[in-house]
Amino acid sequence: MPTTYTAYTKLGSQEAAEALGEAMESLDPEPTGVGVFEIEDGSGTWEVGGYFLAPPDDIELTLLARAFDASDFVVSKVPDTDWVDKVRRELTPVVAGRFFVYGSHDADKIPDDSEPLLIEAAMAFGTGHHGTTQGCLEALDRLASGGFEGRNVADIGCGTAVLAMGAARIWPGAVVASDIDAVAVEVAQANVDANGLDGRVTCLEATGFDHPDLAARAPFDLVFANILKQPLIDLAPAMAAHLAPGGYAILSGLLTRQVDEVVEAYDAAGIALLRRDTIGDWATLTLQKRGI
């Protein structure tokens, strides 16, 4: 592999980092790639890096760093690494309750007593490698362990359809998975096929519950919505309208500090909090519609 180089610097805001990233593109020698990354330590620091096929010009880099009030660039040779292998080792299977979420490279590691879900980390959210997805799978596992059987389940904002497929793995009933993003719906359908769940999970493109198929299938006895705080709040009245009395909602995508606001909106809509779980900064809520 030819020797390649990286030049990295740090600075204090996303805006400045993006501007510096753009400016790096006109360096000579020009970078083959420029990345702008948030450093995930809560400090608000951003990293800007360029990839070069020839050693970058130190003077140009110094001037650029000064102009953008960034720290001095650190230039290094890119280590000769098998990046594909490195990523595969990092994308390890995720265990959430009885569910085993894995990429195809870990197909030989499925435990006998698990419910396997094959998900490649690709172009839809919901790979299992996030506290929100794990939290929802664990909540599903708990409901099932408690004796509940979902006969009519919806996954609103399904991403990879990991939650819908989890429900279809353990219950014989119908599951519908919808997403606002057409790419996610394509990925969801591909995942459903790859997991042998074709015909069990229906994937469709919809904003919230706004689809004739969702209206026709309601009321649901379990609805997942792993989205974000505000869309969850906006969804509360529609959730109440589409849930059967006594039906469950498993919600995630919200930070622990956002829980009260979401719980309040759902309580006002007649859906009461049963349980709250936290993984890292992320909360998962299990709720039940009143009126059994």
Partner 1 sequence: MAKKLAGKMKLQIPAGKANPSPPVGPALGQRGINIMEFCKAFNAKTQEMEPGAPCPTEITYYQDKSFTMDIKTPPASYYLKKAAGLKPVGKRNRPRGAVLPGRETIATVTTKQVREIAEAKMRDLSATDVEQAMKIILGSAKSMGIEVKG
CA dihedral 57, 63, 64, 69 (to 10 degrees): 140
Q: For residues 151 and 277, which CB has a smaller minimum distance to partner 1 in the complex?
A: 277
Q: For residues 151 and 276, which CB has a smaller minimum distance to partner 1 in the complex?
A: 276
Q: For residues 138 and 179, which CB has a smaller minimum distance to partner 1 in the complex?
A: 179
Q: For residues 65 and 94, which CB has a smaller minimum distance to partner 1 in the complex?
A: 94
Closest distance to partner 1 from the beta carbon of 79 (Å): 8
Q: DSSP for the chain, please give it.
A: ----EEEEEEES-HHHHHHHHHHHTT-SSPPSEEEEEE-TTSS--EEEEEEESSPPPHHHHHHHHHHTTPPPPEEEEPP---HHHHHHHHS--EEETTEEEE-GGGGGG--TTSEEEE--SSSSS-SS-SHHHHHHHHHHHHHHHTT---SEEEEES-TTTHHHHHHHHH--SEEEEEES-HHHHHHHHHHHHHTT-BTTEEEEE-BTTBSHHHHHHPSEEEEEEES-HHHHHHHHHHHHHHEEEEEEEEEEEEEGGGHHHHHHHHHHTTEEEEEEEEETTEEEEEEEES--
Closest distance to partner 1 from the beta carbon of 246 (Å): 26
Residue 140 Cα distances to 63, 136, 169, angstroms: 55, 6, 11
Closest distance to partner 1 from the beta carbon of 62 (Å): 22
Check whether 226 is labelled as a binding-site residue: yes
Check whether 256 is labelled as a binding-site residue: no
Check whether 146 is labelled as a binding-site residue: no
Check whether 181 is labelled as a binding-site residue: no
Closest distance to partner 1 from the beta carbon of 36 (Å): 5
Closest distance to partner 1 from the beta carbon of 215 (Å): 22
Measured distance CA(167)–CA(174) in Å, rounded: 9
Residues contributing to the site for partner 1 (CB under 8 A): 1-2, 4, 6, 18, 21, 25, 31-38, 40, 51, 53-54, 78, 81, 83-84, 86-87, 90-91, 103, 120-130, 132-133, 157-160, 179, 183-184, 226-228, 252-253
Measured distance CA(260)–CA(257) in Å, rounded: 7
25: left (phi over 0), alpha (psi -120 to 50) or beta: alpha
Closest distance to partner 1 from the beta carbon of 147 (Å): 28
Closest distance to partner 1 from the beta carbon of 142 (Å): 20
Annotated binding site for S-adenosyl-L-methionine, which residues? 133, 157, 179, 226
